[in-house]
Amino acid sequence: MSYPRIVKAEILKNFPLCKDIYALELSLSQELKPLPGQFMFLKIFQGFGESICRPFVFNSFNEKTVIIYKIVGEGTLALSKLKPGEILSAIAPLGKRPFSSNQENILIASGVKLAAIAGLQSPELFFIEENKGEREILQYFQLKATILKTKEELFEAIKPKAGKRFSLSIQSELALELKSNFNIAGEIFMQARVACGWGACYGCAIETKSGYKRLCIDGPVFNLEDVYRVN
Ligand code: FES
């Protein structure tokens, strides 16, 4: 696994896939080979000398570096306005524990979280469409999936797979429901606010069954068995 470094990221394309979800295609000054689930910090200029850093999962796809992002605040809104040719500063790859390369795991992803598992090989992918149009993300990555719209549809689809191993990029509450109802095992991509990105601030700590863990150093992928249920 390669160590994080500062790289220049030139924007090749930045376009909407569907409402509020964008694909950002970059050319990096150094080749990086991100593992599924790893992320980068992007420094986004907002004008008047102001800039903010935001973490994004990134992929190598079709010889490009790709970020799929959703507009959720000022950072991602500013990012959506950047044009091809602009050059950003990035720190990557971050996240010391990506997904394992177990090709037998069944995949489940929801909405824009699909980007975290888009690089995994698997016998089967279930995609939960949270909002209209999100299947454009599947098409972008040229992935085939069973598309589901409700929790009930998901439960019906997973019932015959009880006891199997999964790689999940969905809300942790939903993952825990699947685990308790169908006794599934495997890994899950977790999300939290990330500040320093290299283990110093504990700003990204999440509570697990084996104590507090830092998302940027101990994750962002965790064993499903470790995910803590709030009673
Ligand atoms: S973001 Fe600082 S320890 Fe993870």
In a domain, 204, yes or no: yes
- DSSP of the chain, one letter per residue? -PPPEEEEEEEEEEEEEETTEEEEEEEESS---PPTT-EEEEEEEEETTEEEEEEEE-EEETTEEEEEEE--SHHHHHHHT--TT-EEEEEEEE-SB-----TTPEEEEEGGGGGGTTT---S-EEEE--STTTHHHHHHTT---EEE-SHHHHHHHHGGGTT-EEEEES-HHHHHHHHHHH--EEEEE-----SSSSSSS-TTEEEETTEEEEHHHH-BEEEGGGBPPP-
Note the pLDDT of residue 74. 87
Token look-up 């006794």 returns 183
Domains contained in the chain, number: 2
Note the pLDDT of residue 228. 76
Note the pLDDT of residue 231. 40
d(CA 98, CA 158): 24
In a domain, 195, yes or no: yes
Identify whether residues 207 and 175 lie together within a single domain: yes
In short, whether 216's Cβ falls inside 6 Å of ligand 1 is yes
Identify whether residues 85 and 110 lie together within a single domain: no
Note the pLDDT of residue 229. 60
Domain boundary pick from 66, 94, 122: 94
Mutating to test ligand 1, I would choose from 40, 97, 198 the residue with most ligand atoms within 8 A of its C-beta, which is: 198
Q: What is the pLDDT of residues 26-51, one digit of tens each?
A: 999 998 889 999 999 999 876 666 77
Identify whether residues 141 and 214 lie together within a single domain: yes
For the chain, residues with pLDDT lower than 70 are 1, 46-49, 229-231
In a domain, 101, yes or no: no
Determine the atom of ligand 1 nearest the C-alpha atom of 195. Answer: 1
Identify whether residues 117 and 222 lie together within a single domain: yes
Identify whether residues 39 and 89 lie together within a single domain: yes
Identify whether residues 115 and 89 lie together within a single domain: no
Identify whether residues 167 and 218 lie together within a single domain: yes
Q: What is the pLDDT of residues 155-184, one digit of tens each?
A: 999 999 999 999 999 999 999 999 999 999
In short, whether 53's Cβ falls inside 6 Å of ligand 1 is no
Domain that includes residue 192, residue range: 106-226
Identify whether residues 80 and 19 lie together within a single domain: yes
CA of 205 to the centre of ligand 1 (A): 7
In a domain, 55, yes or no: yes
Identify whether residues 114 and 218 lie together within a single domain: yes
Note the pLDDT of residue 166. 97
Identify whether residues 119 and 197 lie together within a single domain: yes
Note the pLDDT of residue 6. 94
Identify whether residues 179 and 199 lie together within a single domain: yes
